[in-house]
Structures are given as C-alpha cells and as structure tokens.
Amino acid sequence: GAGVSQSPSNKVTEKGKDVELRCDPISGHTALYWYRQSLGQGLEFLIYFQGNSAPDKSGLPSDRFSAERTGGSVSTLTIQRTQQEDSAVYLCASSLAGVKAGYEQYFGPGTRLTVT
C-alpha cells in the first residue's frame, strides 16, 4: 500500500529563492502535519491540517513560511526568500484523524532542503 510521499527528496537552492515542498498523504487520512528537523535537533512542529483547514499555525517560524492543502489531500509547504537557517529535513505526516484522537502519524521520507 502507498505510504506518505514527499517531493522532491532533495532540494538545493540559493539564498533568497522561493521553494515549494509537496506532500501526498495516505489516502483517507484527514489530518496532515508538517515538521522540520534541523541538524542535531528534534522534530519541530510547523503546521497541522484537519481537512483543508489549519487550526494551528503557531509553529510556522516566520511569515516567509506558508502551507496549503487542497481537496483534503495534497499539501504544499512554501518557503519564500529562503535563508540558510531554513536548511533542514522537512517531514510530512498524516493520520486517520486529528491529534485530539491520538491517532498515530505516518511519516513520509522527508525533503532535505539545503540553502546555499
């Protein structure tokens, strides 16, 4: 069965450029999450979608970060005017229902972003 997929797997970009990261959740999963893991750091929560709406955007590090989800499925995380500190592995996860229900999340392989 298909798991969570993310693209691209690796992205190298120049400082100041915009990047778009894509996540395809498991079919039927209503909740979708974005995290990032910087070198030597734990998982940092970025944003969570329940369906197409994002009840919690508090984790987005700055207004350069935005995310959307359409059709209750695919999500894109956009980083504008990338900075070197944005370099990290960006992980997407999905679950059957939201965090309130305590459903475990299934993670994608991540997108490794390097800003030069």
Partner 1 sequence: DQQVKQNSPSLSVQEGRISILNCDYTNSMFDYFLWYKKYPAEGPTFLISISSIKDKNEDGRFTVFLNKSAKHLSLHIVPSQPGDSAVYFCAASGRDDMRFGAGTRLTVKP
Binding site for partner 1 (CB under 8 A): 4, 33, 35, 41-45, 48, 55-56, 58-59, 91, 93, 98-100, 102, 104-110
Taken as a whole, the chain contains a residue count of: 116
Q: Which residue is listed with tokens 């995310």?
A: 67
Provide the H-helix boundaries in the chain: none
In whole angstroms, the minimum distance from the beta carbon of 63 to partner 1 comes to 20
CB of 32 to partner 1, least distance (A): 12
- Cα-based torsion angle of the residue sequence 38, 72, 24, 90 in order, rounded to the nearest 10 degrees: -10
52 versus 56: smaller Cβ distance to partner 1: 56
